[in-house]
């Protein structure tokens, strides 16, 4: 249970840092890669220092959560603004 509590704020931090990277000029198509690198780094250095297999799994889960939350929010805002579902 404590793993989940530790991971939730890190997802927000990863989302914010990916957004900062996009604002700084990193192309949006590289956002999932940046999120994965950040997620694995946070997991390895903060959550599971010295346990790379566990850090890799948790880092990928953190990155997937950050990218999926951002994408879902963006699609919902497009739907509200345009009144129709976003194109696939």
Residue-wise pLDDT tens digits, 24-59: 999 888 889 999 999 999 999 988 898 999 999 999
Q: Dihedral sign, CA of 37, 42, 44, 48?
A: negative
Q: Is the pLDDT of residue 4 over 60?
A: yes
Q: What is the pTM of this model?
A: 0.75
What residue segments make up the domains of the chain, in order of their start? 2-82
- Whole-angstrom distance, CA of residue 23 vs CA of residue 57: 28
**Mean pLDDT in the chain?**
84
Q: What is the pLDDT of residue 9?
A: 86
Average pLDDT over every residue of 2-14 = 77
Torsion of Cα atoms, 26 then 36 then 13 then 70, to 10°:
70
The token pair at 66 is 């950050």
The enclosing H or E element of 15 equals helix 2-24
């Amino acid at each position: 249970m404590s793993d989940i509590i530790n991971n939730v704020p890190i997802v927000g931090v990863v989302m914010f840092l990916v957004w900062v990277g996009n604002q700084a000029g990193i192309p949006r198509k590289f956002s999932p890669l940046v999120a994965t690198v950040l997620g694995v780094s946070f997991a390895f250095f903060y959550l599971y220092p010295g346990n790379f297999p566990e850090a890799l799994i948790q880092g990928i889960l953190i990155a997937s959560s950050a990218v999926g939350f951002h994408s879902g929010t963006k699609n919902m805002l497009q739907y509200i603004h345009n009144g129709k579902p976003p194109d696939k």
